[in-house]
Structure 1
Amino acid sequence: MAVTSRPFPSLASRLKAALLARLDPGLAIPVEAEKNAGILSRSLNFLTTAILGLLEPLSVAYGNGVAIRNWLYETGRLKTYRPPCPTVCVGNITAGGTGKTPAVILVCQLLREMGRRPALLSRGYGRRERAVRVLTAAELEALGPRQALARFGDEVLTIASHMPDLPIVVSQNRAAAARAACDRFAPDVLVMDDGFGHLRLQRDLDILMFDARSPFANGRLLPRGLLREPVWAIQRAKVAIVSRTDQCTPDQLAATDEAIRLHNPDITLIHSVHRPTGLRRVSDQQLLLLSHLSAKKVLAVCGIARPNSFFATLSELGAVVTGVPFADHHIFTKREVERLVARRQSGGFDFMVTTEKDVPRLLNLSRDEAQKVFALVVQLELIDNGAERLGKSLEHAIKR
């Protein structure tokens, strides 16, 4: 099945796409061919090379800052907080795109299966306030969609949709969030979402997510690359979950495993795939079978780090896909939603499909149009006894 993309309307958008491709090939967004494409390609290559060259000194400064900060924590010059219960962190060493949110959901589910009472700590990426917030089912029901997004962010709302009774505390200050969670809910284990570099909060287990196709992106630190910390920081982790192993060759997967073990030979390495399980209609949350996609003409809309993976998945499920990518965590304006609806109607598309993380950001859908919009439900599946090995790592970490 063919996957097409919308043309970028401006040179700035095309330059952004070219920069993303240089930071990590997996982030590349296809652009429709046009006249003078060769000249445009050479011009973009020159501009991206110049911009990345200017970013190199900033990456050096950033790396020095990270090294100093880590040293201050390691030597005790910066204080840390030890929660009264065990803490598990699920994080990235790169800036997004590994499929971490399904992993957080899986870890919380495994802990519950072990008889534990987890509470989740999240920074609430993209939210518009800084106060410590506690998400409960009652509060979520009382808030409107716009208020909920501003207060908690799309990732937290996605997790809450899968585990509505999971206690969630949101704050950039994870130590403050941990105190609030322990005071309010008395959990026996804390799960910290996306906090690998948040050293102020001590943890008993670090789980790192890696994309099998490009575990370290271009191997450079922010902003020249996508690494949040130097690769030797992998030494702090005890478990590595390699995602999207079904989207790379056996040789690529072996190279990724070898690269991770090079920096931490003792790490527990687990392979995983993101497995689609159904389609959820936005209007009434009804869950439909994946066969509903077969031979359907679909307008695929997403604002995630790796849109190509989403489009390819829909195509593999039998849909005829036209992909419309937006920036990661993009909040859709009323005008953009109107244009997407008009395109779906005029283009003869059967329906629109988006990701679960995009649903909270599609704020301006009418009730009628929401009946034609579906979210692809995806869960993280650990393969080769991965669930058993992750369970053992969790059990060992939370014994204290």
Structure 2
Amino acid sequence: MLRILSPFSFLYQFLFFLDRTLTKSKRIDGALVISVGNLTVGGTGKTPFVQHLVSYIRDNHKDYSITILSRGYKASLSETGAKLEESSLPSEVGDEPKLHKETFPDVQVIIGRNRFDSFYKFNSVPKGKKHILLLDDGFQHHKIERDFDFVLLDANRPLGNGYTIPLGILREPLSSLKRADAVLFTKITEATRKEVTLLGEVISSRFPGLPVLHSRFSAKLNPSEVSADSFLVVTGVGNPEFVRKTAVSLLPGKKIETKFFPDHHHYSQEEMISLLSDIKPNQGLVTTGKDWIKWKEFPSFLEKIKELNVSLFLISLEVEMEEKERFRILLESLFSNYEAKISRGENRL
């Protein structure tokens, strides 16, 4: 299999190199642009980290407007672009952008396959306003210049088997970290601590001066009171095994069964109602916010949950930075440089 797929892996790397080399980056005037991305396919925790950044900015820089700019993967409006409203449907705008908008209603969320054009088409932040733009899943998006690149590595599978697609889960090789401004390990546990430390040392050796940060997820179950004997975990995310492990840690001693769907799965109401038939007596249903944002659009499904008296539990995740002060200093230096450029007239508001 390795011999068969190797040419395709090299072809993928070559085409990616051409795209990055031939694409001319454009500047979004007046905005401080921070990209949050990764090296691998699948979930590395970008969504919780973007929301962590939004919370930090809202708490410490209330005079800034915030925009989250996303492709809107698998969204029906991705080609034309859209600015999210509270009434926007996940199928139209994407599950992660919809989750961002619901979590932060006052934050501008824009999607579009062509993110640069979508921003200028839908942006409503007035000129003269301090503006921070968070480029969600932006490390491989070369069309927009950015002031800072965070690259996230999942502590459970930071580089996979070391190969790029289709041999492995890498979008691009480790050498691509030469474009990064900071590396952030996510989802660290005691079981992954040793591997993270070793890989962090390798990264620091290969890329001197590149900040290497570490974070954990603080997981909660809502509601927290549990009476069911067993649980069915249903999710369609990039790393469903992490969701299962999280459920196990939150529900010690309980029997856990799983049903996984592909990442960004388009659920149907019929599919969800059929799924309820798999629920056993006194068995709870566990999912993530990213899945629930789509499920709750199905009124018949919600009625069926009530009718069958199924207990539904949501796993919520929050980022806990290990080097809190170093992280704060890193962000504050970005804000200081941005405001200094404005005062010098180098970054027009």
Normalized against structure 1, the TM-score is what? 0.75
Q: Are residues 1:357 and 2:290 paired?
A: yes
In structure 2, the partner of 1:321 is: 256
Q: Distance in 1 between matches of 2:227 and 2:196?
A: 30
Q: Distance in 2 between matches of 1:396 and 1:230?
A: 32
Query: What letter corresponds to residue 351 of structure 1 in structure 2?
Result: G
Q: Are residues 1:70 and 2:24 paired?
A: no
Query: What letter corresponds to residue 170 of structure 2 in structure 1?
Result: L
Q: Distance in 2 between matches of 1:390 and 1:339?
A: 49
In structure 2, the partner of 1:120 is: 68
In structure 2, the partner of 1:348 is: 281
Question: How far 1:179 moved relative to its partner?
Answer: 1.9
Tell whether the 8 Å contact from 2:182 to 2:210 is kept in structure 1 after alignment.
yes
In structure 1, the partner of 2:26 is: 80
Tell whether the 8 Å contact from 1:238 to 1:266 is kept in structure 2 after alignment.
no
Q: Distance in 1 between matches of 2:282 and 2:333?
A: 46
Q: Are residues 1:388 and 2:323 paired?
A: no
Question: How far 1:308 moved relative to its partner?
Answer: 1.6
Q: Are residues 1:109 and 2:55 paired?
A: yes
Q: Deviations over 1:274-327 (max 9, x none)?
A: 111341xxxxxxxx3x3x247642111111122121111111112432121121
Q: Are residues 1:195 and 2:138 paired?
A: yes
Q: Deviations over 1:244-276 (max 9, x none)?
A: 111634321212212332442212222111111
2:179 to 230, 233, 236: 236
Question: How far 1:376 moved relative to its partner?
Answer: 1.2
Q: Distance in 1 between matches of 2:302 and 2:218?
A: 30
Q: Distance in 2 between matches of 1:151 and 1:343?
A: 29
1:165 to 81, 100, 106: 106
Taking only aligned residues, the RMSD between alpha carbons, in angstroms, comes to 2.3
Q: Distance in 1 between matches of 2:264 and 2:144?
A: 26
Tell whether the 8 Å contact from 1:206 to 1:237 is kept in structure 2 after alignment.
yes
Return 5+ residue gaps in structure 2 as ranges.
Answer: 342-349
Tell whether the 8 Å contact from 1:240 to 1:270 is kept in structure 2 after alignment.
yes
1:149 to 73, 81, 90: 90
1:265 to 208, 222, 226: 208
Return 5+ residue gaps in structure 1 as ranges.
Answer: 1-49, 280-287
Query: How many residues were matched structurally?
Result: 326
Q: Distance in 2 between matches of 1:165 and 1:209?
A: 26
Question: How far 1:134 moved relative to its partner?
Answer: 0.5
Q: Cα distance 1:343–1:277, how it changes in 2: closer, same or farther (>3 A)?
A: same
Q: Distance in 2 between matches of 1:312 and 1:136?
A: 34
In structure 1, the partner of 2:345 is: none
In structure 2, the partner of 1:10 is: none
Tell whether the 8 Å contact from 1:295 to 1:320 is kept in structure 2 after alignment.
no
Q: Distance in 2 between matches of 1:393 and 1:103?
A: 19
Tell whether the 8 Å contact from 2:37 to 2:138 is kept in structure 1 after alignment.
yes
In structure 1, the partner of 2:235 is: 302
Q: Distance in 1 between matches of 2:107 and 2:190?
A: 32
Q: Are residues 1:97 and 2:47 paired?
A: no
Tell whether the 8 Å contact from 2:234 to 2:285 is kept in structure 1 after alignment.
yes
Q: Distance in 2 between matches of 1:299 and 1:383?
A: 32
Question: How far 1:377 moved relative to its partner?
Answer: 1.5
Quick check: 153-162 or 317-326, which moved more?
317-326
Question: How far 1:390 moved relative to its partner?
Answer: 4.6
Q: Cα distance 1:387–1:272, how it changes in 2: closer, same or farther (>3 A)?
A: same
Query: What letter corresponds to residue 127 of structure 1 in structure 2?
Result: A
1:131 to 51, 76, 80: 80
Q: Cα distance 1:367–1:203, how it changes in 2: closer, same or farther (>3 A)?
A: same
